[in-house]
Homo-oligomer: A and B are copies of this chain.
Amino acid sequence: MPASTKPRLTLRIDLGPGQSIGPGKMRLLEAVAETGSISSAGRALGMSYRRAWMLIEQMNLGFRRKVVTTQLGGTHGGGARLTPFGEDVLKRYRAIESKAESGAKSHLAVLARAMKPGKAAPVKRTRLSR
């Protein structure tokens, strides 16, 4: 296989009208679990607090049970953590993803080999690279 980035699958799951989960929301759940706060999680992903809060609210309202609970605190404060249900959603998403990737392995290898080599993003070259 020629030098190239490993092919990667990204999954979006549409669960109903206006309700989907995908890599962004799942990374956000992981970041909440790691940081214990919505604002820190958003910051870790380069996302505004407002956007992080909104994505979590979408999930909390769309599912029968909450995926994240918050404790009251200071400004944007308090803490946040995944509920057991939120952990389950995340686990299932990752399971679907890894199953899809292993099932796709041979096709992905063929597709990756079919790519033109050296089609990397334009590389800045300076005469004296430094």
The one of B9, B110, B112 in contact with A11, judged by C-beta atoms closer than 8 angstroms, is B9
CB of A63 within 8 A of chain B?
Answer: yes
| Cβ contacts A1-21/B at 8 Å (1 or 0 each) | 000110111111111111101
CB of A128 within 8 A of chain B?
Answer: no
Question: Are B99's CB and A104's CB within 8 A?
Answer: yes
Count of A interface residues, CB-CB < 8 Å: 41
In the bound complex, residues from chain B placing their C-beta under 8 Å from that of A112 are 15-16
Question: Are A111's CB and B92's CB within 8 A?
Answer: yes
Stretch of A33-41, A71-79, A114-122 on the interface side: A114-122
In the bound complex, residues from chain B placing their C-beta under 8 Å from that of A49 are none
In the bound complex, residues from chain B placing their C-beta under 8 Å from that of A92 are 107, 110-111
Question: Are B14's CB and A119's CB within 8 A?
Answer: no
